[in-house]
Every structure is written in C-alpha cells, then in structure tokens.
Structure 1
Amino acid sequence: MEPVNSRRILDEGTSARDWEAWSGLDVLPSLEPALLVPEGRRAVIVAPHPDDEVLGTGGLLARLGRLGRDVLVLAVTDGTASHPGSTSWPVERLARTRPRETQEALHRLGLGGARVERVGIPDGAVTENEERLVEWLGARLRPDDVVLATWRLDGHPDHEAVGRAASRACAALDGRCVEFPIWMWHWARPGDTRVPWSRARRIELDEATLALKRRAMEAYVSQLEPDSTTGNPPIVPPYALERLMRPFEVVFT
C-alpha cells in the first residue's frame, strides 16, 4: 500500500478551477442512484466525521430520498477533535452540537426520517479501533445493503480506516461497498495515477439538488465559522467546499 504521507493534505491543495478544467471528469460514466441502490435495498453511509456524509454524498442522499430508498447513516466519530485548544468549541460542546448538525443536515436533504447510529469511536483514533469498527459494522450490516464509505486511500487516517473497515465488513457478508473521495480532491492532481479512475462514476446533480446539498452543509455551523478564541480559520474552508459543491459527485464502484 502506498504510504499515507505521499497523499499529504497541505495548504490549499488542487483548486476547484484546476479540476474543472480537466476533461477527464467530463468523460466519467454516469451512474443513476436508482441503479446504485436498487428498489428494496438500503443505503448505508459510513461517515468518519459528522459532515462527511454531506460533503461526499449529500446530493446522492437527496436523490435517494426522492426515490424512497431507506437510508441509514453510521457516524463513526462525533468529530470532537475538530477544534483543539478552543474555548468556544470545547469537546463537550462539540459532542452535543455535531450530532444535532447531522440531524438538521439530513432534514434539509429531505431525509428527516433517516436513522443515524453513532459508533462512538474517538475522533482521530479510527485506525487504532479498526477491528472494533469491523465487528460493529458486521453486527449491523445486511448482505443486501449498499454501503458507501470514504475511500480507503483518501489521505486522512480516519477516512482511510473507515474505508478499510467497511470493505472488510462487506466482504465478510458478500455485500457491496462503494467508496467516495473527499480529501483526494485536495492532494491529487487531474489524471493522478494514484486514483482509480477506471472505477470512478459520476452521480449527476441538478441545480435544485446541488442547492439542497449546499443548504445541508450550512447546517454544520461548527465547521464553517472561524474560531475567534484560537484565531483559526474554518475547519472546512471555502476552497475545500468549492471542490465538493459541484453538479456531480464521484464514487468508486
């Protein structure tokens, strides 16, 4: 496996403009949500942190909701390590706030009835708890679920551990695991050979669906505002949002 430090998340990364200029994204095959998650099947989103489900698959979730598909969100951590040293956002406040932000985001996507289950693994420690996560998923997943998890080479340790764990749990059930990138868009370059473009598929988002995704992400106030007590910028800065708020999402099948 390629070392994670070769996929480093530094500075502002590859710009949305650079990705938009690359014709390779235009020729990716499209995948209809109705085919990805057939009727009668459940979509299970495995999110390392609250907001990853919206950043990576918010538009897909909105489309699945309109199709009447059953959606379950599994929150691996509560994202309580997002503001180290902050007196405005201490761990206790984040533990209360971020789960509420998830519920509001799903409501804005038209998925107010979707279930959310919390694994309770500490933020930043998914790798150390990977075996626990595999067992936890194995006890809750069904063989006919369509599981969507962050890509196992995404560049963030928690994201990669979630991708590995979900893949292993699905393999044990002979189920289907589909991965989605988030931080890949930061460290990779157009045409980057480290990315499995042959497995990449586009989920198309019309203007109304993209607007729903934007509104859902706005529910994560804790991640979008600068921290006056530390002087730090938003956890999810505008340039990172721009890369992910496009009229399509990408998954690896």
Structure 2
Amino acid sequence: MKRKVLIVAAHPDDEVLGCGGTVSRLIREGYEAYTLILGEGITSRDKNRNRENRKKEINKLKKQIYKANKILGVKEVFTFDFPDNRFDSVDFIDIVKTIEEVKNNLNPEIIFTHSKSDLNIDHQITYKAVITATRPMKEESVKQIYSFEVLSSTEWNYPLSFSPNVYFDIEKTLELKLKAMSAYEMELREYPHPRSLEGIKIKAGQRGIEAGFYYAEAFELIRIIY
C-alpha cells in the first residue's frame, strides 16, 4: 500500500504555492497525493457580481483546480464551498468535520497545510482545524504535519513570524509547480506581484540558498511521530 499525502488548503492555488514542488517530488518518490480545498475562493473579491456570474466564475475556477492538480500528479481533489475570507462566519466544528471526513477516508501519513502565523483569516482557521482534526490518538494515521507559506499572504503579516525549519529540494519539480500555477489563470498575477511565475521562482531560489539548494520549498514542522 502506498504512503499517502494530503494537502489541506483554504483556497484554490494555495496548494500549488505552498507545497506544489514538494508534493510533486513525493509523488515521484512513490507517495500517493490528495488535495482538499475548503473554500470557493472568489466571492470576497467583488460584492457587485450577480449570483449567476459568480456561479460561472466558481465553476471556472474549479476546472482550473483540477487541471493544476493533475499537472502536479495529485490523484484526487476534494473541493468544498466555505465562504471566501469568511471562514470565521462558519461554525468551526463544520470545518473540522469536513477535514476529518476526508482524512478518515484516506488515512494519510503526511499533511501539508497553512501556517498559524498567516495574515489570511481563512488560512489561520484551516491550520487550527487541521490540528483539531488530527489529534494524536492511538488510531490516528497522520504522523507528520507541515505548515507552508503562501505568497502574497504569509509574508504580508506583521510581525513576520513564519520560521521554516524543514526544506525540500525542488530543483527537479519547480517547472511542474510553475506549470501548475499557470493553470490558475484567474489567480496568477504579473511581476512584481508575489503570486507571479517570476515571484514564485525567486522565492524558491531564496529558500534554496537558505538550505544549500538551487530551489526549495520551506516548511514549519508542526508534529512528527515515530
């Protein structure tokens, strides 16, 4: 049986920005990867969109989710429609139960998710919900939890408090990460925005030189159980 990885992300593209290169590498090494995206990721941007146009844009974004994750090599994607940038308006237990349901069906060994120090409220709540859903009980499958950084969110918090202590060399999978991000036509921005292809590559280079690599992704190790 293959060892499984689960990405738990608040919004579409967070999974690519946060750990796309690392998960692609793990898939190449024999892991089976899955992605859970909790939020619809778009409705907070424009209050004037009518319901029909909003539905079309959500459906368009979901198609981009599946395309991007297929590029990474993810086996299956689970999407939900918690309100964008309003996770704090939802009963916390509902988010926890959603994560638990997917996790219990998959029994992953590793989870990648957001940092508790992130600026975005949905990212903060997702982190807390993952920790709640993976309490280290005897029957819990999850043995490793890593927090990732999301460009144009994590680095904009003050004071900056994302403190990585784990680095994955992604020199061989950076191009896959960039290709996957290119599938997110609705999310990609022009340089010098952090969420641009050049911005992503620069960040990977920065994290790489911190660890003696050309390109890397950096994480905070939250829990590891042997």
User: Structure 2-normalised TM-score?
Assistant: 0.76
- Among residues 78, 88, 96, which one is paired with 2:40 in the alignment? 78
Q: How does 1:1-253 map to 2 (within 5 A)?
A: 40-81=2-43, 83-85=45-47, 90-111=53-74, 114-129=75-90, 130-142=92-104, 145-171=109-135, 173=137, 174=140, 175=142, 176-182=144-150, 183-187=153-157, 194-197=161-164, 200-206=165-171, 208-224=172-188, 236=195, 241=200, 244-246=203-205, 247-253=215-221
Unaligned segments of structure 2, at least 5 residues: 206-214, 222-226
Aligned-pair CA distance for 1:85: 4.9
Name the CA distance, whole Å, in 1 between partners of 2:28 and 2:201.
25
Q: Which has the higher strand share?
A: 2
Name the CA distance, whole Å, in 2 between partners of 1:121 and 1:204.
33
Judge conservation of contact 2:85–2:120 (CA < 8 Å) in 1.
no
Aligned-pair CA distance for 1:118: 1.5
1:125-184 CA-partner distances (Å, limit 9, x unpaired): 222322211112222314653111111221110101000100111116443422112222
Unaligned segments of structure 1, at least 5 residues: 1-38, 227-232
Q: Relative CO higher for 1 or 2, CA cutoff 8 Å, sep ≥ 6?
A: 1
Aligned-pair CA distance for 1:212: 1.1
Judge conservation of contact 2:5–2:109 (CA < 8 Å) in 1.
yes
Alpha carbons of 1:236 and 1:93: their partners in 2 closer, same or farther (altered >3 Å)? farther
Alpha carbons of 1:94 and 1:234: their partners in 2 closer, same or farther (altered >3 Å)? farther
Letter in 1 for 2:46: P
Letter in 2 for 1:100: K
Aligned-pair CA distance for 1:187: 3.4
Judge conservation of contact 1:170–1:177 (CA < 8 Å) in 2.
no
Alpha carbons of 1:93 and 1:234: their partners in 2 closer, same or farther (altered >3 Å)? farther
Aligned-pair CA distance for 1:186: 3.2
SS of the residue corresponding to residue 223 of structure 1 reads coil
Name the CA distance, whole Å, in 1 between partners of 2:101 and 2:47.
36
Aligned-pair CA distance for 1:87: 6.1
Aligned-pair CA distance for 1:107: 2.1
